[in-house]
């Protein structure tokens, strides 16, 4: 499974690399590993399907304020749209 980052999501991910965000980065990377192992729509982070213009995408809670927004494409790739903020 390839990971495809939106330009914004990749920039947001780089912000998680700051030393004081180490715990949250570990959590985010754990979600990505879990999704890549096949737990697309269940597991840690309270995965929930999104609605309206984000239908087909899911979110997982990284922190109270930050969410991982992703989907698994028909080709089986993990597409990440966001990993900071609350859609």
For residue 25, tell me if it sits in a domain: yes
Concerning whether 48 is annotated as a catalytic residue, the answer is yes
For residue 26, tell me if it sits in a domain: yes
Number of structural domains found in the chain: 1
Report residue 87's pLDDT band, with 50, 70 and 90 as the boundaries.
Answer: low
Model pTM above 0.75: yes
pLDDT at position 53: 92
Residue 17, domain CATH? 3.30.2310.20
Rounded-to-integer distance, Cα 50 and Cα 57, Å: 6
Catalytic residue among 15, 18, 42, 48: 48
Domain limits for position 68: 3-82
**In this model, does residue 85 exceed pLDDT 90?**
no
Which residue, 82, 56, 79, is CA-closest to 1? 79
Per residue in 59-70, pLDDT (tens digit) is: 999 999 999 999
Higher pLDDT, 6 or 85: 6
Concerning whether 11 is annotated as a catalytic residue, the answer is no
Per residue in 35-55, pLDDT (tens digit) is: 999 888 889 999 999 999 999
For residue 66, tell me if it sits in a domain: yes
Catalytic residue among 15, 18, 42, 86: 86
Rounded-to-integer distance, Cα 53 and Cα 56, Å: 9
For residue 87, tell me if it sits in a domain: no
For residue 11, tell me if it sits in a domain: yes
């Amino acid at each position: 499974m390839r990971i495809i980052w939106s330009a914004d999501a990749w920039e947001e991910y780089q912000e998680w690399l700051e030393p004081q965000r180490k715990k949250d980065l570990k959590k985010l990377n754990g979600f990505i590993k879990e999704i890549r192992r096949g737990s697309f729509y269940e597991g840690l982070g309270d995965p929930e399907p999104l609605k309206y213009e984000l239908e087909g995408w899911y979110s997982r809670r990284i922190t109270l304020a930050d969410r991982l927004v992703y989907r698994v494409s028909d080709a089986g790739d993990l597409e990440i749209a966001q990993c900071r903020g609350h859609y």
